Amino acid sequence: MDANARPAQLDSPIVGRIIKIGSRLNTRLYKLTGGRLGGTWRVGAALKKPTPVCLLTSTGRKSGEARTVPLLYLTDGDDIVVVASQGGLPKNPAWYYNVRADPSVQIQIGSDSKAYIARIADDVERAELWPRLVELYADFDTYAAWTDRVIPVVICSPA
């Protein structure tokens, strides 16, 4: 087996279900506690180096309803940078398509929530940000090796 191949177990439908349940639970805990619970990721590469989590709320492109997901983030000046990695799965996450359809988002960090405008990083910006993102969470490189898609980097600037 190729050392860079995505583990076959990740393609199981149950994995997607577990991710959704975990995401919903994390979002609820984060909102209830102002980020005291759910505000850091401590899985995989983040086990020894906890990584900050924000809540990104976008408008569902099909439903028109608010959709909130917990995401690892990097600050870049006033911007918040997030990654549409979805653990290296073959498809981009739903939130990515939502922000492409309507770039107006809310981002909550701790108990502070602000309006942002999201945009997909161009190739030059992505090349500049990717090493910093991998430094933040090394598993992003692993996820990139597991998929044929270029994992999008999304830059959110204050509205």
Instruction: Look at residue 23 and give its three-state secondary structure.
Output: helix
- Per-residue pLDDT of 73-123, as tens digits, reads 999 999 999 999 988 888 899 999 999 999 999 999 999 999 999 999 999
Work out the burial of residue 32: count CB atoms within 10 Å of its CB; fewer than 13 is exposed, 13-18 middle, 19 or more buried.
exposed
Residue that is written with structure tokens 């401590």 in the block:
42
Domains defined for the chain, CATH in brackets = 8-158 (2.30.110.10)
**pLDDT given at position 17:** 83
Instruction: Look at residue 113 and give its three-state secondary structure.
Output: strand
Round to whole Å and give the CA distance between 61 and 99: 8
